[in-house]
Amino acid sequence: LHGCAPVWLEIMKWNGWGYSDSRFLFNKKGQAEFTGKRYRLSGMIIPGLKDWFEGTFGANLQHKTPPTPLLTNTAVPPATLNEAFVEEVKSTGIPFSHDAEDRVFRAHGHCLHEIFALREGKIGRVPDMVVWPSCHNDVVKIVQLACKHNVCLMPYGGGTSVSSALECPPEETRSIVSLDTSQMNRILWIDEKNLTAHVEAGIVGQDLERLLNESGYCTGHEPDSMEFSSLGGWVATRASGMKKNIYGNIEDLVVHIKMVTPQGVIEKSCQGPRMSTGPDIHHFIMGSEGTLGVVTEVTMKIRPMPEYQKYGSVVFPNFEQGVACLREVAKQRCAPASIRLMDNEQFKFGHALKPQVSSIFTSFLDGLKKFYITKFKGFDPNHLCVATLLFEGNREKVLQHEKQVYDIAAKFGGLAAGEDNGQRGYMLTFVIAYLRDLGMDYYVIGESFETSVPWDRVLDICRNVKARIIRECKDKGVQFPPLSTCRVTQTYDAGACVYFYFAFNYRGLSDPVHVYEQVEHAAREEILANGGSLSHHHGVGKLRKEWMRDTISNVGMGMLKSVKDYVDPNNIFGNRNLL
C-alpha cells in the first residue's frame, strides 16, 4: 500500500521548506539565484546576496554543509502496528500506509532542530502509520477505531508547524497513527446570501483562495505559510493572517466548526453570527493543537474579491519613529490591510535580496533614491528602517486611505519609498523560509519566533530581545555575531505583534542545535520578562509548553486539563501539545 498523496510528496522537499524545484543556490560564478518558476523571484540572479550573506554571518562559500541527499529506509524505525486496528481500517476502505517515506514526511514540522536532524539523516520516533480520510465520516470512523483499539492519533494538516507540535512523543508506546487531512479539501458550499463558505478542514490556504477566487470571493486569510498550511491547522493553532486588519484573524473568520473527538462530534446548532450561550465552545477548539480531536469542517466568512490592491512603503529615519507611526496608525484605526515595519538589519537583508536589475535606468534610479534618502534627507543608512504597506478595496477608497496613512507617516519623518519596495517586502515573506535552507548549506542556522506586546513596550522588547540574542550567542561560544532582527508585523488597538529573526554561523560549535535552542529559550524568557506573550500565532506545541502554567495560571491550566480529561480521557489524541 502506498500513500494516496504521492503527488504532494514528490513535489515537496522531504528535508527542507517548500517545493522541490524552488531553492536558493550559489551558482558557479558565486552568484545567488532562485530556481524554479513558481515565484516572482524564480529564475532570477540576486547579486547582493553573496556579499550580504558572507558579511553578515562571516560565512564562506567554500565551507559547505550539504544535507544527506536521500532518505535511507534503514534509518527509519520499524512501524509498531496495532494489527487489529489496521485490519479494521482496511475494512473501512480508508487509504492508509506504513511506508517509511510517508511516515517520516509527517513526523515533523519546520522547527530548526527538526529540519537539521532530517538533513543529517537522523530520524527519531515517527508515526507508525498514516491514514487519509476523505470526509468527515471517515474521520468519525477512524476516531472510533482508535478509541476501540487504543492507538494514538496525531492530526496532520499542512505540516508547517514551528512549535514541535508534530513531533511524536518519544515516550508514546502505543501505535501512533498520523491522520492526514489533505484529502478533505473540498469547498462543500458557498452561501452568497450570508457570505459564508463551508469547507473541509484539510484544504490548504492557496487552494482555498484559488477556488473561492474562481467564484469571485476570498477569505482574506493569508498567513505567511498559506501555500502549505491547512484550514484545520489554522483553527487548531489560532492562526493569524497578514491582512487581518480587514478580514480578521481566524477566530474572527470562523462561523461554525465541526470537530470529531473521542466523545463524539462537537458543533454548534446554528450559524448565528454571535451568541451568548456561555463560554464559546469554539474557543476550546481553536488553539487546542490537536489534543482534543480533528477539525473536519469549517464554515468561514468570505468576502467579494477586492477590486483594487496597492502596495506601498515608507522609509523612516529610525525604528523608534517607525514604531511611533504604526502606533498612531493603530490609534486612528486606519491601518491598511497590512502594515509591517522592518528594522534596519531586516531592511538591509531585504535590500540584499533585490534581483538583478535589467536596465541601467532602473539602477540609476535606485542610486538616485538612495542618494536622496541618505544624503539629501540625512537618513543614516545604519538606522533607517522601512514599513511595507498593502491597501485593498475599491480604487477610490484605497487612494484616499493611502493618502491618510502617508500623511501620518510624514509626521514621523517617514518618506514614501514606492510600491516596488513594498511588494518586494511581501514577496520575501514567501521565500524567506527557502533562504534558511540555503543558510544551512553553509553553516548558518536560524529561525523566527513571534510575540504580541502592548504598544508601550514594543521598542523595549525589540531592543532587549535582540540584545539578549547577541549576548547569549557570544556567551555560548558562537564565533561570529548573529543576525538578530525584528519587525512589527501586526497592529492592534492595544498592542502589536513582533516577529524576530535570528540566525548565526555555527562553525566551530560541536552542538549547534543545542546552542540554538539555548539562545531561543533565553530569547523567550526575555520576551516574557518584557511583557510579551508566549505566542501570537505560532502556538505552544511542545516547544513552549514549559511556560504555559505561568502564562495562563494554575486555575487556567486546571480548566484546560479538565476539558482534556472529559473529551479525551484515554489520551487518544496523544501528541502532548500545549498542556
Partner 1 sequence: MTSSSQYKDSGRAGLEDVDEFVDILEERRRSSDLGYAFRTFNPQPYKGAPSCSTADLNKAVLESQYLSYMAKEIAMETGSSVEEVREEVCGILEEMSQNLQLGFIRMMAYTLSKVFKRLFTSILVNMEGLNMLQQAVQESPVILMPNHRSYMDFLAISYILFTYDIPVPVIAAGIPLAGMKMVGEILRRSGAFFIRRAIGSDKLYWAVLSEYVKTIVRRGFAPVEFYVEGLRSRTLKSLLPKLGMMHMVLEPFFKGEVYDITLVPISISYDRVLEESLLAHELLGVPKPKESTTGLLKATKVLQENYGSMHVNFGRPLSVRQLCHGKINRCQFNLVPRDLPQQPSAEAQACVSWLAHLMVRIQEEGLLISPWSLMACMLLQAPTTVLTEEGLLWHQLTEKTLWLRKLALDFGARLNWPGQVPDSDVISSTVALHCSVVQRKAGRVYLVQENEPLRKCPISPEDGVIRMAAPLLMLASYRNQSMHVFVRPAMLATAIRVTESTQRDELFSFFCFLQDVFSNEFIFIPGKSPQDFEEACVLLKKCGAVNFSQQEVMVLDAGSEVLSFLQALLQPFIDSYQVMFRYLCEEGVHVLSEKQFLPAVRNLATELILSGELCTYEALSSDMQKNVLSALRRLEAVTKLRASEQNEYRVNKAAVRRIGDILSRKIPPQMLQTTPDARL
Of the pair 75, 467, the CB lying nearest partner 1 is at: 467
| Least gap, CB of 467 to partner 1 (angstroms) | 4
Contact 236, 181 (CB under 8 A): no
**Among residues 294, 461, 543, 560, which is the contact residue for partner 1, using CB under 8 A?**
461
CA-to-CA separations, 100 to 123, 132, 315, in angstroms, rounded: 11, 16, 50
Question: Residue 464, interface with partner 1 (CB under 8 A)?
Answer: yes
Catalytic residue, candidates 499, 501, 506, 516: 499
Of the pair 138, 526, the CB lying nearest partner 1 is at: 526
| Least gap, CB of 165 to partner 1 (angstroms) | 25
Question: Residue 546, interface with partner 1 (CB under 8 A)?
Answer: no
**Among residues 380, 460, 511, 565, which is the contact residue for partner 1, using CB under 8 A?**
460
Beta carbons within 8 Å of 239's beta carbon, 6+ residues apart: 221, 223, 229, 233, 249, 250, 537
Of the pair 38, 463, the CB lying nearest partner 1 is at: 463
Of the pair 416, 528, the CB lying nearest partner 1 is at: 528
User: What are 467's three cell numbers?
Assistant: 540584545
Q: Is 1 annotated as a binding residue?
A: no
Q: Is 121 annotated as a binding residue?
A: no
Question: Residue 468, interface with partner 1 (CB under 8 A)?
Answer: yes
Q: Is 308 annotated as a binding residue?
A: no
| Strands (E) located in 429-546 | 444-454, 483-491, 495-505
**Among residues 79, 140, 195, 528, which is the contact residue for partner 1, using CB under 8 A?**
528
What is the sign of the dihedral through the CA atoms of 470, 473, 475 and 479? negative
Q: For residue 570, how many other CB atoms are within 10 A of its CB?
A: 12
Establish whether 499 is a catalytic residue.
Answer: yes
What is the sign of the dihedral through the CA atoms of 152, 157, 159 and 164? negative
| Least gap, CB of 271 to partner 1 (angstroms) | 37
CA distance 491 to 494: 8
| Least gap, CB of 484 to partner 1 (angstroms) | 12
**Among residues 452, 530, 535, 577, which is the contact residue for partner 1, using CB under 8 A?**
530
Part of the chain binding partner 1 (CB under 8 A), chosen from 30-38, 194-202, 356-364, 457-465: 457-465
364 strand-pairing partners: none
Order of strands across the sheet with 264-266? 187-191, 196-200, 294-301, 254-261, 264-266
Of the pair 314, 461, the CB lying nearest partner 1 is at: 461
CA distance 391 to 489: 15
| Strands (E) located in 119-246 | 129-131, 152-156, 176-180, 187-191, 196-200, 217-218
Question: Residue 380, interface with partner 1 (CB under 8 A)?
Answer: no
| Crossing angle of helices 136-149 and 83-92, rounded to 10° | 160
Of the pair 134, 318, the CB lying nearest partner 1 is at: 318
**Among residues 463, 476, 521, 545, which is the contact residue for partner 1, using CB under 8 A?**
463
| Least gap, CB of 558 to partner 1 (angstroms) | 20
β-bridge pairing 308-316 and 444-454: unpaired
| Least gap, CB of 58 to partner 1 (angstroms) | 22
Q: Which residue has the cell 538589519?
A: 345
Q: Which residue has the cell 510624514?
A: 410
Q: Is 232 annotated as a binding residue?
A: no
Question: Residue 550, interface with partner 1 (CB under 8 A)?
Answer: yes
**Among residues 529, 549, 553, 570, which is the contact residue for partner 1, using CB under 8 A?**
529
Residues near partner 1 (CB under 8 A), total = 13
Q: Is 81 annotated as a binding residue?
A: no
Length of the chain: 579
User: What are 565's three cell numbers?
Assistant: 480529561
| Least gap, CB of 537 to partner 1 (angstroms) | 20
**Letter for the amino acid at 221?**
H
| Least gap, CB of 78 to partner 1 (angstroms) | 45
Per DSSP, the three-state class of 78 is coil
CA distance 414 to 317: 7
Of the pair 468, 542, the CB lying nearest partner 1 is at: 468
CA distance 304 to 243: 15
**Among residues 380, 456, 511, 565, which is the contact residue for partner 1, using CB under 8 A?**
456
Question: Residue 383, interface with partner 1 (CB under 8 A)?
Answer: no
Of the pair 111, 453, the CB lying nearest partner 1 is at: 453
| Least gap, CB of 568 to partner 1 (angstroms) | 31
Part of the chain binding partner 1 (CB under 8 A), chosen from 207-215, 362-370, 490-498, 528-536: 528-536
User: What are 363's three cell numbers?
Assistant: 539602477
Closest Cα partner for 22 from 3, 47, 40?
Answer: 40
Question: Residue 457, interface with partner 1 (CB under 8 A)?
Answer: yes
Of the pair 219, 530, the CB lying nearest partner 1 is at: 530
Question: Residue 531, interface with partner 1 (CB under 8 A)?
Answer: yes
Q: Is 239 annotated as a binding residue?
A: yes
Of the pair 268, 457, the CB lying nearest partner 1 is at: 457
Part of the chain binding partner 1 (CB under 8 A), chosen from 32-40, 190-198, 221-229, 460-468: 460-468
CA distance 305 to 394: 10
Element (H, E) at 296: strand 294-301
Provide Rg for the chain, Cα atoms.
24
Beta carbons within 8 Å of 313's beta carbon, 6+ residues apart: 386, 387, 388, 389, 416, 417, 418, 419, 420, 421, 422, 425
**Letter for the amino acid at 111?**
C
Q: Is 434 annotated as a binding residue?
A: no
176 strand-pairing partners: 152
Part of the chain binding partner 1 (CB under 8 A), chosen from 108-116, 186-194, 306-314, 464-472: 464-472
| Least gap, CB of 500 to partner 1 (angstroms) | 15
Question: Residue 275, interface with partner 1 (CB under 8 A)?
Answer: no
Contact 489, 328 (CB under 8 A): no
Question: Residue 125, interface with partner 1 (CB under 8 A)?
Answer: no
Q: Is 436 annotated as a binding residue?
A: yes
Contact set for partner 1, span 6-65 (CB under 8 A) = none
> Which residues would be at the binding site for partner 1 (CB under 8 A)?
456-457, 460-461, 463-464, 467-468, 528-531, 550
Binding residues for substrate: 436
Query: Any idea which residues carry the catalytic annotation?
Result: 499
Binding site members for FAD? 155-161, 237-240, 289-295
